[in-house]
Structure 1
Amino acid sequence: MPNPEERGTTDEHDSRTPLDRTIDRIGMGASEQPKNGTYQWTLLFLCGFGWMADNMWMQAVAIILPRVQDQYSIPDSQIGALFSSMFAGMMIGAIGSDLLGRSTAFNGTLLFTSLFGLAATLTTSFWSLCLALFLLGSAVGGSMPTDGTLILEQLPNNKKYLVTALTVFFSIGAVFAAVVALIIIPRYTCFAADCDVAKDNLGWKYLLVSLCVITLLMTVLRVIFFRIYESPRFLVAAGRPTEAMENLQLISKFNGEELDLSLRDVRDYFGTLRSRRSHSYSATSPARNRPEEEQSFLPATNSSVIFNADTDETTEVSRSKPNSPDYNTTGETSTIVNNPHPYSPLALETSSLPNSGSPVNSPSQSHGRGHQRLHSGLSIAEDDEDDEWKVTPRSPRIPRIPRSRRSSVVSVHYKSMTWLPQFIRKPLLAYIDRIALVLTPEWIWKTLTVWAIWFSMALAYTMFNAFLPKLLEKRLEGMNPEPSLGRSAAGIRSAESSLEDSLWDVVIYSIGGCPGAILGAYLVDSPFGRRWSLAGSTFLTAFFCAVFVKVDSPLLLKASTVGTSLASTTMWGILYGWTPEIFSTNVRGSACGIASALSRIGGMIAPILGGQLLTISVSLPVYTSVVSFIIAGICVLFLKEAEKQEGEERVILH
């Protein structure tokens, strides 16, 4: 049997595109590769830094929260704003990284994280610190989706499971922050009643400076000692196949072998040009700005083509300037895997405009066997299937779509928003379309259930995690056999011991979560399946949170935190993997993207709400987390598990 990975050969059972086969040839286990994918392994390790930094800084903010409260005399009702500020920045950062592109975001996010972290150490008030952490969150928040999608695009199809390794880096980040805090904070924390907090309570600032240095070292390793090549999938989707071919050759050379490639090796569609002749377009504008061979690869990045079932006419809805690729890390794309997903650096932005008489074919649906990749605004002519396409791009415009072809949602909102500027109206309409797509009668119940799960889990997990160091200090102080020593010398030693013990508990808590991602990956394919594994881990997390409040022994307190950490990390690992499988291809990107956004919103609400609850009782935030976890677990039980389709690709969610 011929090897389908060899150029020029095909297999009728091989669902890979020529680009897929080329990427599979150049590393990570390919028989002809003596270095066994050195480039991909190095990139996987460096992308892990982005995930590590994300959780490292979140854990650091949770650790410094009690120290900041002492520094600026902030009441419990307001201290949650510190954590919420960072979460708000992370949500903005995930969206803002769309404008940068993958290579720029890969090189810049950690650099700006270290700079904004340094700015946080220079603040002199609580609210200026919140602003600095918002900026820090906007930098580090763009790292995870960019890094995750970048490595996913570079991995061969049979190695995409290695994306799970990024979640291990994520857990290690929390451990790293906790260990550094354990070394620094107890030595530079003020316990005496008459101490000068401006001089003697600087441990939390030293912690931030240390993490800035560590993050800067990560940046140096990523930028100076390694050259990243732009993703070939992104370049092909952006209409730059020649660059994609050159980058593949450079990556192959990095891995120890030089390949002779042609443009046909980077075509990211199925079949031949002759088989696609049924979809032709005409245009009158002359070609501009691109070599002719690259014009053949111009994707339908910024438009949707709506077909009339009774005619051969098409209507194009152009969405942006010509030859201007969309750098969208959190939108929908078919350039990375066969399915759209929420964290994709290049979103082939399309709006599904359903019409009973006019089926829709959008770019996100055109990446599988039997689908045609449509090239909007192009004139395609071919004399032979081996010839390059001759393409003439049309000038961008937004034609008036006949009323009979518009969906009711788009029609209503298009009319009501004509007064808005175009740069606001277009993304707003696209967002409305995305929501409308997943709220159709077929999907509404399942969509709302998944959204409730993501929101509830994020609310519960963040409320517990953000206040854990503070809760541990209070619990350990309550277990102290001599609590009445106050600010005497013995009392200060007792407070120092309680702080050090609480930080040790944070370290143990962080280490306890490291196996969670691997355990989650195992459970989804166990006899328990995805549904019962997710529900079980969620209920188990709620159980250990309740135990945390009830126990009166330091040993049992440690055990409850380890149980909470392991169960919650397993829960998130299963949720990340299962959510994309719940939805079909045409709605997956929209449903998952909004679910991820809701989890960020839950993360922003949790610290504010938890701070208010702390003023009532120190245990109330934990009980609220327990209830929220139980609600999420019940919602999981309402979902039905379906068999994962063979050949379905992984996607990145965060």
Structure 2
Amino acid sequence: MPSPNSPTSRFHEQGEKTTMNEKSTLPSPEALAQHPVVGPAPELQATTVLDDASSEETKVDYNNQAAAEGLEPAFLAKVHILNHAMKEIGMGRYQYELFFTAGFGWYADNVWLQAVSILQPALAREFVASPYVRHSTTALYAGLIVGAFFFGTSCDVVGRRIAYNSTLLIGGVFGLLAGAAPNFVVFCVFIALAGMGVGGNLPVDGTLFLEFLPGNKQWLLTLLSVWWAIGQVVASLVAWVFLANFSCADPAPGTFCSRASNMGWRYTYFTLGAHMIVLWGIRFLVFPVYESPKFLASIGKDEEAVIVIHKIAKRNGTTSSLTLEHLKAAARPYLLAAGENPDKVEVKFSTMELIKHSVDDFRGKNIRNLFCTKRLAWSTSLVILVWALIGLAYPLFFAFLGSYLTAKVGATGGNLDSTYASYTYQAVCGIPGSILAAALVEWGRGGRKFALSLCTLVSAIFMFGLTQAKTEAQINALTCMVSFWLNAMYGVLFGYSPEVFPTPSRGTGDALAATANRIAGILAPIIGIYSVAAKTPDGPVFTSAAIFVVAGLVTLGFPIETAGHAAL
């Protein structure tokens, strides 16, 4: 049995906490060969001197930890070395560039979500009677579901870079085409295809960014959600400018506006699609990314992983002491125990063999890994459930916020400018919410779980208050507070989810969570069209608030707290 202080999990409550401010060098390959890296990862230790525990006892402890995490012990040993190497390099130019380019993906996700919501009234004047125009949200979510699952799962098979370098371009091209759609059906087809590209951003970009961060900087993954809030602001401002100047008045019942008189929504899509292609160019051409070293190690490409580490060090203006022998020495005892040759060279597969291995992974290996222990299965299930609950509640609020503001602000005597001013105010309020989230996840007494529950429940409280708002000032104040806390909630959720999934199945775990989020989200427009609750502006808001209460309570049951621990 392992000793009481020997963690059987990377998040064992009695394990050593991360030492954040100490810079260290890697242990020698000889030391690793004598005492395998087990228990607390090197980056979680105050020094690089390994304990003099017996080799056999250490291996037992380490095997237990690997089993608890659903990982191979040899891979876990290599991950600890890579985490240590990333800490040795430190935070630098490469990670800061990645903060911006990865942020483009989260920015794009909310740009298209908000654009579809904001522009629905303009589409209804030209194409199809309300409330059936809300099926444009259905089309977007259909694409998001496919994109989230395909890109998220494939990045655990073929790597992170391919998806990372594709999603913005796909979204931008089809977003442009949506602006040129001749009718509502064609528009829905193009917006669904744009959603396929956009859907890959959340599971892939967060995964890639996390795997390049030193353990003491993982809070930046939460701060990345500030881009989500900025996306909402930009979509609101662009739509406001074009709709205020290039939209027709409400047509008589049974009639529609002409294309020439209602170009505002088209100009908005042209603008958003074009600038999305520009962001793709910046990401792909100006600040190219490397493949994740942890992914490379997970498929046996240790030499390539070492090369990437040294490239990052060079980009950061520093050096790394990592060698290929460090990874081999760390994994050797566990490979020997498993009857494998620890010194075998990298295998070169034929094209057909690569396809076969990829198909094997798609058959469910990476999914099964997320449920291979009781604790991991419980954690994965609750994370997916919370993503699903929020996936239903969030669009119930935001996808119909334009309609809510049009009805409520109009009832108080406001005009089009007042409506979109209200929309922009609440969008801007979301930006400091993301900053609060980054602070909350590092709060020692709370951690990720408490922060997520707090933000979710407070959001619900202000939503309940919004259903009772009577004046334009009350509406603006309450929508601002809702946006502030909802963006804080999403920031914590975006950061927690990739941390809790292990590297070999991280993309798949994020894909399952994002797919559940989108599947639930596709129900929102159906509720908005056919339910009795949606017949009034307050109905979707009240329903959304109730669902957020349930989600906030479920988060308290998460079995894993990731604060203060480096991701595996």
Same fold (TM over 0.5): yes
Change (3 A) 1:516 1:200: same
Report the alpha carbon displacement of residue 187 of structure 1 after superposing the two structures with TM.
Answer: 0.3
Q: Normalized per residue, which structure has more helix?
A: 2
Contact 2:502–2:567 under 8 Å retained in 1: no
Partner residue in 2 for 1:279: 338
Alpha-carbon distance in structure 2 between the residues aligned to 1:572 and 1:606: 18
Change (3 A) 1:279 1:292: closer
Alpha-carbon distance in structure 1 between the residues aligned to 2:480 and 2:220: 26
Alpha-carbon distance in structure 2 between the residues aligned to 1:259 and 1:587: 27
Partner residue in 1 for 2:466: 548
Report the alpha carbon displacement of residue 608 of structure 1 after superposing the two structures with TM.
Answer: 1.7
Partner residue in 2 for 1:104: 162
Say which is worse superposed, 233-242 or 202-211, in terms of deviation. Answer: 233-242
Report the alpha carbon displacement of residue 579 of structure 1 after superposing the two structures with TM.
Answer: 5.9
Partner residue in 1 for 2:71: none
Deviation digits for residues 467-498 of structure 1 (CA, Å, limit 9, x no counterpart): 10121011122112xxxxxxxxxxxxxxxx62
Contact 2:460–2:546 under 8 Å retained in 1: yes
Is residue 2:423 matched to residue 1:506?
A: yes
Tell me the TM-score normalised to structure 2 length.
Answer: 0.76
Is residue 2:136 matched to residue 1:82?
A: yes
Contact 1:5–1:24 under 8 Å retained in 2: no
Report the alpha carbon displacement of residue 444 of structure 1 after superposing the two structures with TM.
Answer: 7.7
Partner residue in 2 for 1:378: none
Partner residue in 2 for 1:23: 86
Alpha-carbon distance in structure 2 between the residues aligned to 1:584 and 1:43: 21
Is residue 2:141 matched to residue 1:64?
A: no
Contact 2:393–2:548 under 8 Å retained in 1: yes
Is residue 2:553 matched to residue 1:631?
A: no
Change (3 A) 1:56 1:13: farther
Report the alpha carbon displacement of residue 583 of structure 1 after superposing the two structures with TM.
Answer: 9.2
Change (3 A) 1:176 1:572: same
Partner residue in 2 for 1:305: none
Q: How many residues align?
A: 494
The residue type equivalent to 2:84 in the other structure is R
Pairs within 5 Å for 1:566-605: 566-577=484-495, 594-605=512-523
Change (3 A) 1:627 1:4: closer
Change (3 A) 1:506 1:225: same
Which fold has the larger relative contact order, with Cα–Cα distance below 8 Å and residues 6 or more apart in sequence? 2
Alpha-carbon distance in structure 1 between the residues aligned to 2:422 and 2:440: 27
Change (3 A) 1:591 1:532: same
Partner residue in 1 for 2:191: 133
Report the alpha carbon displacement of residue 172 of structure 1 after superposing the two structures with TM.
Answer: 1.0
Report the alpha carbon displacement of residue 586 of structure 1 after superposing the two structures with TM.
Answer: 12
Alpha-carbon distance in structure 2 between the residues aligned to 1:429 and 1:232: 23
Pairs within 5 Å for 1:195-214: 196-214=257-275
Report the alpha carbon displacement of residue 218 of structure 1 after superposing the two structures with TM.
Answer: 0.7
Alpha-carbon distance in structure 2 between the residues aligned to 1:270 and 1:143: 36
Alpha-carbon distance in structure 1 between the residues aligned to 2:521 and 2:178: 21
Contact 1:531–1:641 under 8 Å retained in 2: no
Is residue 2:331 matched to residue 1:294?
A: no
Report the alpha carbon displacement of residue 132 of structure 1 after superposing the two structures with TM.
Answer: 0.7
The residue type equivalent to 1:293 in the other structure is V
Report the alpha carbon displacement of residue 558 of structure 1 after superposing the two structures with TM.
Answer: 0.1
Partner residue in 1 for 2:8: none
The residue type equivalent to 1:280 in the other structure is G
The residue type equivalent to 1:224 in the other structure is L
Pairs within 5 Å for 1:2-401: 4-6=24-26, 8=28, 10-12=48-50, 17-28=80-91, 37-76=92-131, 78-97=132-151, 98-99=153-154, 101-191=159-249, 193=251, 196-257=257-318, 262-265=323-326, 267=327, 271=330, 273=332, 276-281=335-340, 293-295=345-347, 322=353
Contact 1:85–1:133 under 8 Å retained in 2: yes
Alpha-carbon distance in structure 2 between the residues aligned to 1:272 and 1:592: 27
* Identity within the alignment, %: 30
Gaps of 5+ in 2: 1-21, 32-47, 53-76
The residue type equivalent to 1:631 in the other structure is V
Report the alpha carbon displacement of residue 464 of structure 1 after superposing the two structures with TM.
Answer: 0.7
- What is the SS of the residue equivalent to 2:400? helix
Contact 2:370–2:501 under 8 Å retained in 1: no
- What is the SS of the residue equivalent to 2:337? coil
Of 472, 476, 479, which residue of structure 1 is paired with 2:412?
Answer: 479
Contact 1:55–1:174 under 8 Å retained in 2: yes
Partner residue in 2 for 1:539: 457
Partner residue in 2 for 1:388: none
The residue type equivalent to 1:184 in the other structure is F
Alpha-carbon distance in structure 2 between the residues aligned to 1:219 and 1:179: 21
Deviation digits for residues 127-173 of structure 1 (CA, Å, limit 9, x no counterpart): 21111111001011112322222222222233222222311111111
Change (3 A) 1:131 1:153: same
Change (3 A) 1:474 1:451: same
Deviation digits for residues 21-49 of structure 1 (CA, Å, limit 9, x no counterpart): 33333342xxxxxxxx2222212211111
Deviation digits for residues 577-599 of structure 1 (CA, Å, limit 9, x no counterpart): 55678899999998776444322
Change (3 A) 1:12 1:321: farther
Contact 1:43–1:151 under 8 Å retained in 2: yes
Alpha-carbon distance in structure 1 between the residues aligned to 2:301 and 2:356: 10
Partner residue in 1 for 2:3: none
Deviation digits for residues 372-427 of structure 1 (CA, Å, limit 9, x no counterpart): xxxxxxxxxxxxxxxxxxxxxxxxxxxxxxxxxxxxxxxxxxxxxxxxxxx6x984
Report the alpha carbon displacement of residue 258 of structure 1 after superposing the two structures with TM.
Answer: 6.2
- What is the SS of the residue equivalent to 2:536? coil
The residue type equivalent to 1:565 in the other structure is S
Alpha-carbon distance in structure 2 between the residues aligned to 1:582 and 1:244: 22
Report the alpha carbon displacement of residue 74 of structure 1 after superposing the two structures with TM.
Answer: 2.4
Is residue 2:412 matched to residue 1:470?
A: no
Gaps of 5+ in 1: 29-36, 283-290, 303-319, 328-422, 481-496
Say which is worse superposed, 497-506 or 97-106, in terms of deviation. Answer: 97-106
Partner residue in 1 for 2:435: 518
Report the alpha carbon displacement of residue 326 of structure 1 after superposing the two structures with TM.
Answer: 7.0
Contact 1:437–1:587 under 8 Å retained in 2: no
Change (3 A) 1:272 1:218: closer
Alpha-carbon distance in structure 2 between the residues aligned to 1:243 and 1:585: 16
- Alpha-carbon RMSD across the aligned residues, in angstroms, is 3.8
Change (3 A) 1:326 1:467: farther
The residue type equivalent to 2:310 in the other structure is Q
Deviation digits for residues 86-114 of structure 1 (CA, Å, limit 9, x no counterpart): 12211211222244632222222111111
Alpha-carbon distance in structure 2 between the residues aligned to 1:134 and 1:205: 16
Contact 2:215–2:565 under 8 Å retained in 1: no
Pairs within 5 Å for 1:441-452: 451-452=384-385
Alpha-carbon distance in structure 2 between the residues aligned to 1:587 and 1:216: 30
Partner residue in 1 for 2:44: none
The residue type equivalent to 1:88 in the other structure is A
Contact 1:7–1:22 under 8 Å retained in 2: no
Report the alpha carbon displacement of residue 507 of structure 1 after superposing the two structures with TM.
Answer: 1.0
Alpha-carbon distance in structure 2 between the residues aligned to 1:450 and 1:260: 37
Alpha-carbon distance in structure 2 between the residues aligned to 1:456 and 1:502: 28
Change (3 A) 1:432 1:40: closer
The residue type equivalent to 1:572 in the other structure is Y
Change (3 A) 1:579 1:432: closer
- What is the SS of the residue equivalent to 1:154? coil
Alpha-carbon distance in structure 2 between the residues aligned to 1:502 and 1:207: 17
Is residue 2:535 matched to residue 1:616?
A: yes
Alpha-carbon distance in structure 2 between the residues aligned to 1:251 and 1:233: 14
- What is the SS of the residue equivalent to 2:165? helix
Report the alpha carbon displacement of residue 452 of structure 1 after superposing the two structures with TM.
Answer: 4.3
- What is the SS of the residue equivalent to 1:550? coil
Say which is worse superposed, 537-546 or 167-176, in terms of deviation. Answer: 537-546
Contact 2:457–2:549 under 8 Å retained in 1: yes
The residue type equivalent to 1:19 in the other structure is L
Contact 1:523–1:530 under 8 Å retained in 2: yes
Contact 2:175–2:273 under 8 Å retained in 1: yes
The residue type equivalent to 2:279 in the other structure is M
